Amino acid sequence: MRGEPRQRRSRQGRDWRSWFGRFLPERPADRPRRGSRPRSRRPADPAARRSRWLGLGLAGGSALALLALLSAPIFAVADVHISGTRHLSQTEVVRLAGLDTSASVYSLDEGTAKQRLESSPWVRTAQVTASLPAQVSIQVEEWQPVATFRSGGAALWYLSSQSVALGQVPAGADVAGLVAIQGPPGREPKAGARPLEPRLLVDLVNLDRQLPALTGQQVKRFEIDGCGNLNLVTAKGWTALFGRVLTPEELAAFPGKVTSLQTLARSGVVDFNSPDLTYVNVENAGNPAVGYKPKPTPTPKPTPTPKPTTTPRGPATAAPTATPSAPLAPQLTVPACV
């Protein structure tokens, strides 16, 4: 009959598989034999199908309800407590942390807010903590400025101890106690940039603190010209010349020049309080030079005018001829920076 497996029989009319079957492992009862008809599937239970769809609907509804609850106005950030700021305003801190838009305490990523805050040149470290129902606490540690820097006639900037430009100095701000540095004309620094080498700034800050004890004079400002020459201008008026501070070799030689100035001050050879002192040149640390104002030349005493005497007339003499004057000396020119 069509559809039934064909049985192979031996010549004697017996099925040869019945003899070999004793050596084969038995098949499970529920596994159909090869070539047999497949078993019919049991009809699905409508009740089970309804319960499955009901479970999926409840899960989706619960997820939507949870999302609606988390985005509810009651959990929107409404109270931000900020501590540790001196130069940054609360508005700037909120903007840097990304809380200037309506956000929920559940959607706030504290790690991301911390990284955003620490990307500001002013922020040294930051800590962000969210608490229910709608509070966020931000603790900030700022970099403290140690100097002010001005490039030519541009705006005045705060510098940190790492020589990083923190921000512009507001008009009327108190900068007493900060080292004043006048840089060469050029581009105005940007926030986060380093207009000076950090090692040079450290040396300038230390020298600013040491000079009053050495010479009795306060540092008015440091000046760096377009050639990279560093000068120290005191409140008394005299200037200390240190030479160029551009290359690594010149920066490495700067502490030796400061030591030369210290040795000169301790020796007592130079009167740093003299009003005639104009400069102290320590560019050559082994052979410092000192300059004073030239002394005024004494005014000559007037001599009495002799009485006129009559002399006999002699033969007329020709008037003296004018001699050509000597040419003017050429004007001294300062060589350009190399």
In 10 A of CB 134, how many CB atoms?
17
Of the candidate ranges 55-59, 231-235, 269-273, the one whose mean pLDDT is the lowest: 55-59
Q: What is the mean pLDDT of residues 232-250?
A: 96
Is 299 part of any domain? no
166 and 203 housed in the same domain: yes
By the 8 A CB rule, do 109 and 167 touch?
no
153 and 270 housed in the same domain: yes
Q: Which of the 8 DSSP states describes residue 30?
A: T
161 and 222 housed in the same domain: yes
Is 120 part of any domain? yes
- Residue that is last in its domain, among 93, 121, 142: 142
198 and 258 housed in the same domain: yes
- Residue that is last in its domain, among 96, 122, 142: 142
What was the pLDDT predicted at 328?
Answer: 39
Is 24 part of any domain? no
Give the CB-side neighbour count of residue 133, counting CA atoms within 13 A: 8
What was the pLDDT predicted at 333?
Answer: 41
pTM of the model: 0.68
Average pLDDT value for the chain = 80
- Which of the four pLDDT bands, split at 50, 70 and 90, describes residue 188? confident
What was the pLDDT predicted at 310?
Answer: 58
90 and 196 housed in the same domain: no
Residue type, 17: R
129 and 185 housed in the same domain: no
Of the candidate ranges 29-33, 180-184, 227-231, 256-260, the one whose mean pLDDT is the lowest: 29-33
Q: What is the mean pLDDT of residues 293-307?
A: 73
**Number of domains, the chain:** 2
Which residue has tokens 């790492």?
162
Domain span including residue 94:
75-142
What was the pLDDT predicted at 143?
Answer: 97
By the 8 A CB rule, do 221 and 233 touch?
yes
116 and 165 housed in the same domain: no
Is 36 part of any domain? no
Is 103 part of any domain? yes
In 10 A of CB 241, how many CB atoms?
17
153 and 113 housed in the same domain: no
Is 337 part of any domain? no
- Which of the four pLDDT bands, split at 50, 70 and 90, describes residue 104? confident
Is the model's pLDDT at 15 over the cut of 80? Answer: no
By the 8 A CB rule, do 75 and 106 touch?
yes
Q: What is the CATH number of the domain that holds 162?
A: 3.40.50
Is the model's pLDDT at 331 over the cut of 70? Answer: no
Q: Which of 196, 48, 84 is nearest to 179 (CA)?
A: 196
- Which of the four pLDDT bands, split at 50, 70 and 90, describes residue 102? low
Q: Which of 209, 183, 210, 179 is nearest to 196 (CA)?
A: 183
138 and 213 housed in the same domain: no
125 and 236 housed in the same domain: no
81 and 119 housed in the same domain: yes
What was the pLDDT predicted at 295?
Answer: 80
